[in-house]
Amino acid sequence: MDTGKYRHEKYMLFALILIICGYLAAFTLINFRGFTHFASADMYADTVVAKYMWQQKTLFPAGWVFGNQYYVVTTPVLSALFYGITGSVNLSMSIATSVMTALIILALIYAIKPFASRTQALVATLALMASIIAIDMGKVEAQILFLMCSYYAGYLITLLVCWGVWLRAVRSARGRGYDLMFALSVLLSFATGMQSMRA
């Protein structure tokens, strides 16, 4: 292998990792230090329902009406668990959104791993982050955390896992653990209500 090309690829990998780590560091800082500043009415509602979920020990708190989804695998459900530990709605949602961010990245890597090099996987991760920022910046309110704070994070994770399973099936690249991931994709699809007309 050409050493110049190998060195260039190493620098490219390092630069991509540095940019991604910088994004995650900024996200974490904003998430834990500036959550109340960036929280919108929808995000505030997610923190409230998380509190009610923990207090009433149910995913469907009394007096809270959902749409046609089950809302089982969502950020507020995870936040409810952390609320039981921390007792703070803002801190619990900050932790939950950070976890959901990590799960989104892992789901993306799972979806493309057999069909992409390390550099391509990092570029795809960077493209996902850039698209989230672009969507957020296009809104009147700076909802930089909205995707991870809302039910949409669960949808995105489910979509990426299902794509990964489907790609492996059609490309005959199932590999080890395929059956488990297939079962997880079916479970996630029903848990997030992805089978509904709205999705």
How far apart, in whole angstroms, are the C-alpha atoms of residue 158 and residue 137?
25
How far apart, in whole angstroms, are the C-alpha atoms of residue 86 and residue 97?
15
State the residue for tokens 């896992």. 161
Among 79, 31, 39, which Cα is nearest to 55's?
Answer: 79
The pLDDT of residue 22 is above 80: yes
Task: Locate 38 and state its tokens.
Answer: 């960036």
The larger pLDDT score, comparing residue 158 to residue 43, is at 158
How far apart, in whole angstroms, are the C-alpha atoms of residue 19 and residue 183?
34
pLDDT score, position 71: 67
Among 166, 165, 158, which Cα is nearest to 193's?
Answer: 158
The pLDDT of residue 155 is above 90: no
- Who contacts 19 (Cβ-Cβ below 8 Å, separation ≥6)? 126
- Summarised one tens digit per residue, pLDDT across range 53-88 is 999 999 888 887 665 555 688 888 999 999 999 999
For residue 132, name the pLDDT band (cuts at 50, 70, 90).
Answer: low
- Who contacts 41 (Cβ-Cβ below 8 Å, separation ≥6)? none
| Amino acid sitting at position 143 | Q
Output the CA angle 185-24-150, nearest 5 degrees: 50
